[in-house]
Each structure stands twice: as structure tokens, then as C-alpha cells.
Structure 1
Amino acid sequence: MAGTVRDRSSFRPSLVYVAPDAVDDALTGRVLARLGNSASVHYLGERGDPLREEVTGIENGPLEFSAGKQRLLLTRHPGAWLKSCPGTSGHVCCNLWIVNPGEGCPLDCTYCYLQSYLRRNPTLKLYTNTSDMLREIGERAAAEPNRLFRVGTGELMDSLVWDDLTDLTLELVPFFAKLPNGLLELKTKDDYVENLLSLRDVHKGKTVISWSVNARAISEADEAKTAPFEARLAAAAKVAEAGYRVGLHFDPLIHFEGWEDGYRDTIRTIFQRLSPSAI
């Protein structure tokens, strides 16, 4: 499986909406060019636009979640980008800072909290004003030079699933490489790491790529459209060889018949593919 090329068309949108304020942004042009004729494109906001009502329905109505995964809205992020982890009462906070370059995930894990969190707002979104995001992170980090800003992009989306369309890592990784008190964490179930590999001489150890992993039985039954477990490990091995830090998350742990053997096999396979020093 690790040597195969994954078909990414299964989780690409069939319909793309472009908001008026995003039309001229570089990310918009890049995404539309790479999707080509595989998706219908509709520009929103013109007078009498018949899709205005449809988009309102997508945002507020009880659209089936699977239908929302076929629709992508390119728009600008409103308001502040950088937020601290809200934490959970009674638990030790991870102290992660969060930016959301988009919302929603085209992958289809049955247990994902986004399935309910975004249930009434299922349209996939990518925010096109990424320069504003980087500027805000830089200004906040400069204002508190003695504070470590460990910033993650994987709260409301998979960090790598759009990267072949957006090239966002080509902006983020060099930016954090130059940020004295910054560390970037990309969390994913994808295996697209070509952009990351092209930055092997740039990242300076300031980017961590963290994969969610599980027992094979769970991955095969409940993680539709994700990269297979072996493909994730192969991708992790590639970026580790390129000098990146690698993280692995068992998230969630699930009780099932044979769970002990299942998780034991997963852990054994991890250490067959990755050096402990790389994790």
C-alpha cells in the first residue's frame, strides 16, 4: 500500500462557491486551477444571484452531512485568527494555540466530532486571506517574545488534506522556521507530504507532523477516505527522514472485540517502520 498513488478524487468537491471578497486572492486561483473541470464553480454575491438562497440553506439548514462534503466555499476569514485552546474543565490544558485555515473535512470518519459540531453548517470552507493569518501570528508572537506559541491547524480540518490544492504548507513551514518562539503542528490522516519534503532544507525543525492512528480494524471500518494506516506510516517515515519531528495520536481509543491484539499490532508496526528517536 505504501508504494501506491492514492486517488484523491474521491474526496474532492463537486461544487465550489467563491465569495466576492475571495475572487482575487491567490489561494482561490490556485485551488480553482488545480480542480480544473472536476468541479462546477459558482461566483456568489452578484445582484439577483440565484445561488444566494441555496448557500443560505447550506449554512443554516439541515443539509445531509455527506452532501456538505461535496461543496466547498472559498471565502475570507472574518475576525481574529489565533485563539488559545479552550481546554476542558478538570483536565490539564495542552496550551496549544489554534488557527483554522478552513472548516470541515472531506474525509469521513464515523467517530469524528466534526460530524456533530458542524452538523448544521456542513459546507467545507477554505479561507483565502492567509497573509492576514501569518501577519497576526507574527504580531502576537513578537508581542510576547518569551512565550512559546505552539500553533496547530488541525482543530476544524485535516491539516494536509487540501495541501495539494492550496500549497498552504509552502507558506506555513518557512514562516515558522523564521519565528523564534513559534512551533507549527500539522495534524492529519492524509499521506500527501510532497510539499513538506520539498522544504527539507527550510523547516529548521520548527514543524511537527502528527498522524492520527488506530487499530487496523478501526481504520478500515470507520475511517473512510483517509490514507490507509500503512500509507500514513510511510508518509511519516519520509518526513522523519527529511528531518521533521513526527507525532502519533491514538485518538480516539476504541474498545472492540480483540482490541488488545489490535492495538498491540499497531504499536508493533509503528516501531517496525519508524525509529523511536523520530517520534
Structure 2
Amino acid sequence: MEREHLLDPKTIYLEPAVREFPRGRDVLARFPDAARIEVESHWKIPTLFEDATRAEDWLRIKREVLVLGVKKSLAMRPNGRSADFIAPSSSNGCAMACSYCYVPRRKGYANPVSVFVNIDGITRAIARHTEKLGPKLEPNSVDPTHWVYDLGENGDLSVDALVSDNVRDLVAAFRTIPHGKGSFATKHVNMDLLDYDPQNKTRVRFSLMPQRMAKLVDVRTTPIAERIAAINPFVEAGYEVHLNFSPVIVHEAWEQEWRELFQAIDDQLSPKAKAQLKCEVIMLTHNEDLHVVNMDWHPRAEEFLWRPDIQEQKRSESGMVNLRYRHGWKGRWLNQLLSWMKETMPYCGVRYAF
């Protein structure tokens, strides 16, 4: 029932090579009634990604479409914030529909889950990379002892686990990688992950924001109270659990809402969870093209995300026009937020904030 609420594929787009992989055959067997359409590439599906009318059908596509492909590049990219390196993604896209998500900016007018079936190649590439690095000799803000690999840059692994065993395989792989640790952020509570036996080698970062705002912009995600309630069980199951306060959306009533969130977290967490807790804080960045898409399916959210009165344009390295909070104001608001958190959660270290 949980899977069908988020994902009930009626159509599966797949690269022909998918059938050559055990994971590909397994996923196809899970959805035997779905129509299958072969495509040249998981990135090149014109009827899905290049049709502007699809923006109005945003949520149905996320629920009813699944894409299967083979991950071509297995290179690691340096990061230094959430992780030391960005690992090759085992997926792309998401069944949830957060209205600020950056992934659709590169995919056009639809953003369903794409699962990569060559998971063995991905895990071997991570293991080889870590072996070449050797032990982490100097602690940094990412982790004091392990090289950390972000596993879910372009999706949500808790949702991916509803589709295949890719996430189980990643967690298992890090148990045997001496100097490596996996990490992913999530807005979905999937209690099946409690049985994966991570042995403190996988970090889960629960993304949190005030519930009133989350109800508006975190479409199809697990309610905030349930995410908070999941922290203690995940710690007990052997995960390192951090928090991801992202994105921080500034509006007229934000102080009260964030203070209430910090108090709710403090009230719920066990001493064990508090002792290992750290967080990252990311202020909202919005995008002009995404704003246009959102106006077709969720204009109410844009009243809070698209605020030219307090935002300024900044062109990204890829040439996209982004909106960020104005220089000077952003730093002041970030410091305010951190001071509110420190009052209630002084035990929570901040790994990075921007």
C-alpha cells in the first residue's frame, strides 16, 4: 500500500540493455502489468521530458511512470559539504514532488523515478575509489574518520527502496568498505530500511522544515512529525542520523514556526540520538525555469518560493537564472535561524550552513 500510494507504474520506459542485468529483470518482474516502451536512453524520452503540456500532469507522471536505465559514468565527484564525494547515482528523479527541487530543472517537464540497474558496477566503483584513497588521516567537517559518499544526489533512496534492492545493496556494500561511509538525505520514512543492518556505516539525513510550510511545498512526502519520530528507531537500527534543514524558506511567520520545529525535535529525541546528532542548513535557492513549470501545477507554493522583493538573481555555472535571498539579508537570516536552534538544541553541531 505504501508503494502504491507513491508509485504504481502503468508505463515503464527502458533501455534495451536493462534486460541483461539481474536487477533490471527483477524490477520488471515486480511490475508485470506495466506497459513497456524501449528508448534509446533514459535521458532521451522526448514525449516525457520535452513536452511542455506534461507540466500540468506532474503528479500523475510521478506515480505512474518508471524509467529503467544503465548508469554510464561511474566517476566520483568531489563535494566537501554533505559528503567528501558524490557517488554515481543509483537513481535519478523522485516519486515525491517538492516544488523547489532542482532535479527537474535539467529534465524538462517531468521528473519520474529513473532506476539504474547496474548496481554491482556502482558499488564496485565506490569500493575501488575508497581503496585508492586509503584511510582518512585528517578529520574534516564531513566526518572525522571515514570518506563519506553521497548516494542520493538526484533522488530519494528511501523511495527507491520501494522499487528495487539497490539501496539494500548499497548499505550492505559499505559494511565491507573499510574507510567509506554512505550518506543520503530523505523526506520519506521507509521503515523497511531498519532491517538493512548498516552497522554505523550509512548516514541518513532526515530533511526537516516546519510542517505548515512542508504541507505546502513538500508534496507527497512523509509528514514532518513522522520523520522526527523515525530518528530514534533509525539510530537504534545502526544508522548515523543527521538532520538536513533544507530549504529554509523565509517568510513573515518563519521565526515561530522554526522555534516550534526545534522544540518538537528536542522533545522527541533520545539521549543516544542527541549525542550523535549533527545538521546541515541550506537557505532556499529557486530557479526561473522551475518557477514557470510550477505555475502550471502548484502556483500556491510560488507565493513563498518566488519572492523577488527579498531575492536577487544569480546565474549558475551552468547558465541557469537562479534566485537567492539578497546579499546581506541572507547572512543575517541564517544567523538568526542558527541562534534559535542553539537555544533549544545546543547539542546539535552544524556541519555546514549557507
RMSD between aligned alpha carbons?
2.6
Distance 1:102-1:253 versus aligned 2 partners, 3 A rule: same
Please report the TM-score for the alignment, with normalisation by the length of structure 2: 0.66
Shift of 1:97: 2.6
Gap regions ≥5 residues in structure 2: 137-145, 278-354
- Tell which deviates more after alignment, 158-167 or 7-16: 7-16
- CA distance in structure 2 between the partners assigned to 1:177 and 1:239 by the alignment: 16
Query: How many residues are matched?
Result: 258
Please report the TM-score for the alignment, with normalisation by the length of structure 1: 0.83
- CA distance in structure 2 between the partners assigned to 1:190 and 1:206 by the alignment: 20
- CA distance in structure 2 between the partners assigned to 1:101 and 1:63 by the alignment: 28
Structure 2 counterpart SS, 1:164: coil
- CA distance in structure 2 between the partners assigned to 1:138 and 1:115 by the alignment: 30
Distance 1:114-1:79 versus aligned 2 partners, 3 A rule: closer
Superimposed CA distance per residue, residues 124-164 of structure 1 (whole angstroms, 9 cap, x where no aligned partner)? 31100001101111111111213443111221111211202
* Counterpart in the other structure of 1:78: 72
- CA distance in structure 2 between the partners assigned to 1:242 and 1:93 by the alignment: 22
Of the two structures, which has the highest relative contact order with CA contacts closer than 8 Å and spacing of 6 or more?
Answer: 1
For 1:10-29, what aligned pairs fall within 5 Å after superposition? Answer: 10-12=5-7, 13-29=9-25
Structure 1 counterpart SS, 2:162: helix
Choose which of 26, 32, 36 in structure 2 pairs with 1:30: 26
Q: Is the 8 A contact 1:27 1:166 kept in 2?
A: yes
* Counterpart in the other structure of 1:57: 47
Distance 1:117-1:44 versus aligned 2 partners, 3 A rule: closer
- Does 2:207 correspond to 1:209? no
Distance 1:179-1:234 versus aligned 2 partners, 3 A rule: same
Structure 2 counterpart SS, 1:235: helix
* Counterpart in the other structure of 1:49: none
Structure 2 counterpart SS, 1:139: helix
- CA distance in structure 2 between the partners assigned to 1:246 and 1:93 by the alignment: 13
- Tell which deviates more after alignment, 147-156 or 176-185: 147-156
* Counterpart in the other structure of 1:156: 154
- Does 2:227 correspond to 1:238? no
- Does 2:211 correspond to 1:221? no
- CA distance in structure 1 between the partners assigned to 2:97 and 2:162 by the alignment: 19
Structure 2 counterpart SS, 1:239: helix
* Counterpart in the other structure of 2:38: 44
- Does 2:78 correspond to 1:127? no
Q: Which amino acid aligns with 1:20?
A: P
Q: Is the 8 A contact 2:208 2:245 kept in 1?
A: yes
- CA distance in structure 2 between the partners assigned to 1:24 and 1:115 by the alignment: 29
Choose which of 8, 14, 17 in structure 1 pairs with 2:3: 8
Gap regions ≥5 residues in structure 1: 1-5, 47-51
Choose which of 85, 103, 112 in structure 1 pairs with 2:92: 103
* Counterpart in the other structure of 1:250: 245
Structure 1 counterpart SS, 2:181: strand
- Tell which deviates more after alignment, 249-258 or 67-76: 67-76
Q: Which amino acid aligns with 1:130?
A: I
* Counterpart in the other structure of 1:277: 275
- CA distance in structure 1 between the partners assigned to 2:108 and 2:223 by the alignment: 26
- Tell which deviates more after alignment, 174-183 or 74-83: 74-83
* Counterpart in the other structure of 1:117: 106
Q: Which amino acid aligns with 1:64?
A: R
Structure 2 counterpart SS, 1:237: helix
Structure 2 counterpart SS, 1:161: helix
- CA distance in structure 1 between the partners assigned to 2:90 and 2:161 by the alignment: 11
Q: Is the 8 A contact 2:156 2:186 kept in 1?
A: yes
Q: Which amino acid aligns with 2:48?
A: I
Q: Is the 8 A contact 2:94 2:111 kept in 1?
A: no
Superimposed CA distance per residue, residues 46-72 of structure 1 (whole angstroms, 9 cap, x where no aligned partner)? 9xxxxx9x9343244446241652422
- CA distance in structure 2 between the partners assigned to 1:57 and 1:236 by the alignment: 40
Q: Which amino acid aligns with 1:253?
A: V
